Structure 1
């Protein structure tokens, strides 16, 4: 293997002009950066959860790496190249014209993309709301199209969940006293086992409902890029199907966790709210703390493994252990999370800024947004961005459908609130009677509820609605519908106590300050 590494480290090896080759090691691969391309060579290693010892396995998983990543980023993953024996040396064959008997190694060939475009680096300058929205949409579309047939055949079931999570503890046991204390190890293992036992039926239901899909498996900030207005996602797991054939909420939980560990908690909260709003997977929130803890444990484990790499300095080794300890503490914090459920009900006329308030509240509180338009379309079998092409009071906007939407919102909100998480209901809630009904429903269930009335001038409402008609939007409401329904909306009075008024005809920061007063 070392002869092949030396060969690929030589600029003269390549079929295009290369000034120098940068070699980067991961725990499973050598990465050769020969701009404008990158070549990945698998190491002959066996970690239990992956086995690249044999040549045939390395070949198989190299082709799998190309196939699977081409699903989501075909512009980056260009193919598989071969290294063949030629006399006393080697030759790199990139056009597929080789005798397989002469091949000594295979590499995945990729288009080079600078790390400056990675989310890990972009977050240093700040992550704006538009970028978070694009990421949520990219992952939602990927998950929606991912295969789920094998999930119904056993992958992603309770057996696999148990194996994946408890395997982490088996593999990190030797790092007790190095990166994790014995007490923390025992607490986290017991918590994990107790959670799996308590939610066994729930996990099984998720599987049969099709939420277990052929996902990415390693979705963190270093694998998400933003360049030229597009989201690019790299390096899905190819080496073990049980790590990739998982619940979609487990897949994206990795990214939420990675934003958290990098101090971007509000951005993580907002991304979560946007993804859940697009997918309609409100039930998935109930197991999100479990999966975020699991993902933190995976990263801790990987850093422990990297601390054992050959050829690294003691300072580098200490850095890996320190990072592993940070991930262990984050995992523990998810397991210890406890808060009282609260429902924020954001209401107002069409275009009044309800959804802006809802997402800002989600960022500040970690709450889940349940949007009435999104729920309505999901109930009708539509995608959230599909236009229902129905007039007010017709199609999916009949009074009967509206009642069904409100009932669904109550049920989903109640389950999440009982789990101790904040909920943000986002809808017009146009009548005093509807608002009274929601208030009494949650009060009877012992759930605290706050109502927020979104306000802005009529001229601004119309301007926003006209702009929204030109952009992709969950809401189908246009100016014509607004003019038909505006007089039906009943301004709040004394139907419920303590309604908060939030002016949205102002800056985002001012809206956030108003919401901080509501939260406090």
Structure 2
């Protein structure tokens, strides 16, 4: 959609300020990128879902965009200024009455947007963890919905709107109606849970448009920006639905392993295992949005429609437990297996080290004192991961448990947590000298959730684990036999 004629003069001024280049345009904005400043102009348009036709509305929503985004992206969002008309014509923030309002921002290199990083295959683990941390922090700071918020009703309205838009934009009618019917049935089943999540404060004033293109590297960190400013009802939603857009987008970029890591890091920070039950529905709903948007642009939306069908399809869950001494690579193996287990974007990875940190109110990489490893706290940590595993399995999601599991009673508890679903236990083993080397290196780096030292390892090595009934794997090369046991094929989500 072109810039309206009524804004042509203001657009010409911004083009000159930006050095003469054409703006980047969406259907509601024009973004003029200069050497050290970006100017964002809201188009004077009235669409079915917004009305920017009035100057006062454009001023209001420019300020609203600034207020929503500036706390999470300090320095990226600068201010809102008028374009004024004076004796010499139009000027930015000059004398005379405002004729337009623009949002001023700092420029971001094109390669620093997360969708661009995903396209070049550069989503490193630390970057994925940072993405999840940023989203978790955004949700933690977001104000909750008012009491009595009708979460099932809101989801139903979004679903109905997406069905209409898919049909209106020419997507295959039979498939759209079949998918819509299946999603309505799933929503009806989820309604009590969605309502309970709203009561528990999980519905908040979220970002609202949290896809990869709306995150960038800013000051070295993944940073959400361009939060939905023009529709409070649409942006007031379950935090899990907000996250689902990012997970769906990663999957559609062919980055299911990345989506799995982001999901698990987010859950490790928030503890919100309850979002797994509606996650397939939410990801399907986000894929439907992308399907009709793509079709409206003249692109093929059927790939997104097929993705929505896949996200909604059930996948029988299973529980995999991985035990062994410190340094055997339990977490490495868990992260390698989890993306290909069960429903998208893969299994819930429950790690005692991360659960212990969250219970202490700390990020995973923070160090804990010795008393945090007292027997009573360790029992509570294991009880929590077993309860979370049962909850996830009941929601239809596979689980990978990641703990030392030296105590035979804990191994038995892990097996019991799986019932009635399939269970597989792996025990990693390696020479003690190799484990000492690994643990010493990890302790020196200080970038992992494990607080284990060589002394802790050696104490554990002296303990008697009892008879090991789980499949014993060589910790120097555990992945191939583990995949064979589970009949997994990388990237299939089997």
TM-score (normalised: structure 1): 0.84
Q: State the Cα distance separating 1:383 from its structure 2 match.
A: 4.9
* 1:36–1:490 Cα change, 3 Å: same
Task: Look up the match of 1:170.
Answer: 164
Separation in 2, partners of 1:471, 1:13: 50
1:410 to 368, 386, 402: 386
- Determine if contact 2:320/2:399 at 8 Å carries over to the other structure: yes
Task: Look up the match of 2:205.
Answer: 214
Give yes or no for the alignment of 1:369 onto 2:363.
no
Separation in 1, partners of 2:467, 2:230: 57
Task: Look up the match of 2:239.
Answer: 248
- Determine if contact 1:249/1:288 at 8 Å carries over to the other structure: yes
Task: Look up the match of 1:4.
Answer: 7
Task: Look up the match of 2:432.
Answer: 458
- Determine if contact 1:286/1:416 at 8 Å carries over to the other structure: yes
Alignment of structure 1 residues 35-434 onto 2, 5 Å: 35-87=35-87, 89-93=89-93, 102-126=97-121, 127-144=123-140, 146-149=141-144, 151-155=145-149, 157-175=151-169, 178=170, 180-226=171-217, 229-305=220-296, 307=297, 318=298, 320=299, 322=300, 324-335=301-312, 337-365=313-341, 366-379=346-359, 383-389=363-369, 391=370, 395-434=371-410
Give the total of aligned pairs. 478
1:478 to 442, 450, 453: 453
Separation in 2, partners of 1:383, 1:12: 45
Cα displacement string for residues 258-315 of structure 1 (whole angstroms, at most 9, x for unaligned residues): 111122222222322222223222111111111111111222233344x3xxxxxxxx
Separation in 1, partners of 2:227, 2:309: 26
Task: Look up the match of 2:490.
Answer: none
- Determine if contact 1:372/1:427 at 8 Å carries over to the other structure: yes
Q: State the Cα distance separating 1:80 from its structure 2 match.
A: 1.0
* 1:188–1:376 Cα change, 3 Å: same
Give the 3-state SS of the residue equivalent to 1:199 in structure 2: helix
Task: Look up the match of 1:487.
Answer: 462
Greater alpha carbon shift after TM alignment, 131-140 vs 68-77:
131-140
Separation in 2, partners of 1:341, 1:381: 30
Alignment of structure 1 residues 479-518 onto 2, 5 Å: 479-488=454-463, 490=465, 492-493=467-468, 496=469, 499-503=471-475, 505=476, 511-518=478-485
Q: State the Cα distance separating 1:427 from its structure 2 match.
A: 0.9
Separation in 1, partners of 2:46, 2:7: 19
- Determine if contact 1:23/1:32 at 8 Å carries over to the other structure: yes
Greater alpha carbon shift after TM alignment, 36-45 vs 61-70:
36-45
Q: State the Cα distance separating 1:358 from its structure 2 match.
A: 1.2
Separation in 2, partners of 1:236, 1:62: 12
Q: State the Cα distance separating 1:33 from its structure 2 match.
A: 1.9
Q: State the Cα distance separating 1:380 from its structure 2 match.
A: 5.0
Q: State the Cα distance separating 1:23 from its structure 2 match.
A: 1.5
Unaligned runs of 5+ in 1: 308-317
TM-score (normalised: structure 2): 0.88
Separation in 1, partners of 2:228, 2:426: 43
* 1:221–1:380 Cα change, 3 Å: closer
Q: State the Cα distance separating 1:346 from its structure 2 match.
A: 0.8
Give the 3-state SS of the residue equivalent to 1:415 in structure 2: helix
- Determine if contact 1:152/1:210 at 8 Å carries over to the other structure: no
Separation in 1, partners of 2:385, 2:159: 32
Q: State the Cα distance separating 1:385 from its structure 2 match.
A: 4.5
Unaligned runs of 5+ in 2: 488-494
* 1:54–1:227 Cα change, 3 Å: closer
